[in-house]
Amino acid sequence: MSARNLHLWHPFTQEGADPAPLRIRRAEGVYLETDDGGQILDAISSWWVNLHGHAHPAIAAAIAEQAKRLEHVLFAGFSHEPAEELAWRLGKIVPPALQHIFFSDDGSTAVEVALKMAVQFWRNIGRPEKCRIVALEHAYHGDTVGAMSVSDDSAFTDAFGALRLPILRAHSAYCARCPVGRERATCHIECLESLERLLNERGQEIAAVIVEPLLQGAGGMIVHPEEFLSGIRRLTGEHEVLLIADEVLTGFGRTGRMFACDRAGVVPDLLCVAKGLTGGFLPLAATLATDRVYDAFAGPDRSRTFFHGHSYSANPIACAAANANLKIFETEPVFERIAAIEKTHAARLAGFAKHPAVRDVRQIGTVAAIELDVPDAGYLSSLRPLLYNFYLNRGVLLRPLGNVIYLLPPYVITSSQLNFAYEVIQDSLALVSNVPGGTSAMKSQASTAS
Ligand SMILES: Cc1ncc(COP(=O)(O)O)c(C=O)c1O
> pLDDT, tens digit, for every residue of 70-85?
999 999 999 999 999 9
Task: Work out which ligand 1 atom sits closest to the CA atom of 250.
Answer: 1
Other C-beta atoms lying within 10 Å of the C-beta of residue 173? 28
pLDDT for the residue numbered 4: 54
Do the Cβ atoms of 130 and 303 come closer than 8 Å?
no
pLDDT for the residue numbered 442: 53
Alpha helices in 102-192 (DSSP H): 107-124, 145-150
Alpha helices in 300-414 (DSSP H): 316-331, 334-352, 383-393
Q: Whose CA is nearest to atom 4 of ligand 1?
A: 141
pLDDT for the residue numbered 449: 36
Q: How far is CA 211 from CA 94, 145, 151, 374, in A?
A: 17, 17, 10, 28
Task: Work out which ligand 1 atom sits closest to the CA atom of 142.
Answer: 6
Pocket test residue of 113, 138, 140, 214 for ligand 1, highest count of atoms within 8 A of CB = 140
- What phi and psi, each to the nearest 5 degrees, are found at residue 249? -90, -45
- What phi and psi, each to the nearest 5 degrees, are found at residue 196? -60, -40
DSSP sequence for 210-265: EE-SSEE-TTT-EEPPHHHHHHHHHHHHHTT-EEEEE-TTTTTTTTSSSSHHHHTT
Closest by alpha carbon to 259, among 190, 326, 356, 357? 326
Report the separation in Å between the CA atom of 107 and the middle of ligand 1, taken as the mean of its atom positions: 4
pLDDT for the residue numbered 444: 40
> Bridge-partner residues for 363, per DSSP?
368
Task: Work out which ligand 1 atom sits closest to the CA atom of 275.
Answer: 10
The residues near 439 (Cβ < 8 Å, ≥ 6 apart) are: 356, 357, 372, 373, 374, 432, 433
Pocket test residue of 112, 249, 273, 367 for ligand 1, highest count of atoms within 8 A of CB = 249
Query: What is the value of pTM for the model shown?
Result: 0.96
Q: Whose CA is nearest to atom 3 of ligand 1?
A: 141
Pocket test residue of 108, 215, 379 for ligand 1, highest count of atoms within 8 A of CB = 108
H-helix or E-strand containing 168?
strand 168-170
Report the separation in Å between the CA atom of 80 and the middle of ligand 1, taken as the mean of its atom positions: 27
**Residues whose beta carbon lies within 6 Å of some atom of ligand 1:** 106-108, 111, 140-142, 212, 217-218, 246, 248-249, 274-275
Report the separation in Å between the CA atom of 78 and the middle of ligand 1, taken as the mean of its atom positions: 28
Task: Work out which ligand 1 atom sits closest to the CA atom of 217.
Answer: 16
What are 260-284's pLDDT values in tens digits? Answer: 999 999 999 999 999 999 999 999 9
The alpha-carbon radius of gyration of the chain (Å, integer) is: 22
Report the separation in Å between the CA atom of 421 and the middle of ligand 1, taken as the mean of its atom positions: 24
What whole-number distance in Å separates Cα of residue 229 and Cα of residue 409?
25
What whole-number distance in Å separates Cα of residue 355 and Cα of residue 446?
9
Q: How far is CA 366 from CA 61, 236, 250, 252, 335, in A?
A: 27, 29, 10, 11, 10
Q: Degrees (nearest 5) of the Cα angle 295, 296, 300? A: 85
Pocket test residue of 210, 275, 278 for ligand 1, highest count of atoms within 8 A of CB = 275
First to last CA, the chain: 44
Q: Whose CA is nearest to atom 16 of ligand 1?
A: 249
H-helix or E-strand containing 406?
strand 404-407
pLDDT for the residue numbered 104: 98
Report the separation in Å between the CA atom of 273 and the middle of ligand 1, taken as the mean of its atom positions: 9
Task: Work out which ligand 1 atom sits closest to the CA atom of 108.
Answer: 11
Task: Work out which ligand 1 atom sits closest to the CA atom of 212.
Answer: 1
Report the separation in Å between the CA atom of 343 and the middle of ligand 1, taken as the mean of its atom positions: 26
Closest by alpha carbon to 401, among 217, 176, 227, 190? 217
Report the separation in Å between the CA atom of 444 and the middle of ligand 1, taken as the mean of its atom positions: 41
DSSP state for residue 23 in the 8-state scheme: P
Task: Work out which ligand 1 atom sits closest to the CA atom of 109.
Answer: 11
Task: Work out which ligand 1 atom sits closest to the CA atom of 49.
Answer: 10
Other C-beta atoms lying within 10 Å of the C-beta of residue 343? 12
Ranges of the chain with pLDDT below 70: 1-6, 439-450
What whole-number distance in Å separates Cα of residue 278 and Cα of residue 42?
18
Q: Whose CA is nearest to atom 10 of ligand 1?
A: 107
Residue type, 193: E
pLDDT for the residue numbered 230: 98
Around 348, how many Cα atoms within 13 Å sit in the side-chain half-sphere? 25
Other C-beta atoms lying within 10 Å of the C-beta of residue 384? 22
pLDDT for the residue numbered 434: 77
Report the separation in Å between the CA atom of 249 and the middle of ligand 1, taken as the mean of its atom positions: 7
The residues near 41 (Cβ < 8 Å, ≥ 6 apart) are: 30, 31, 395, 396, 397, 417, 420, 421
Other C-beta atoms lying within 10 Å of the C-beta of residue 325? 26
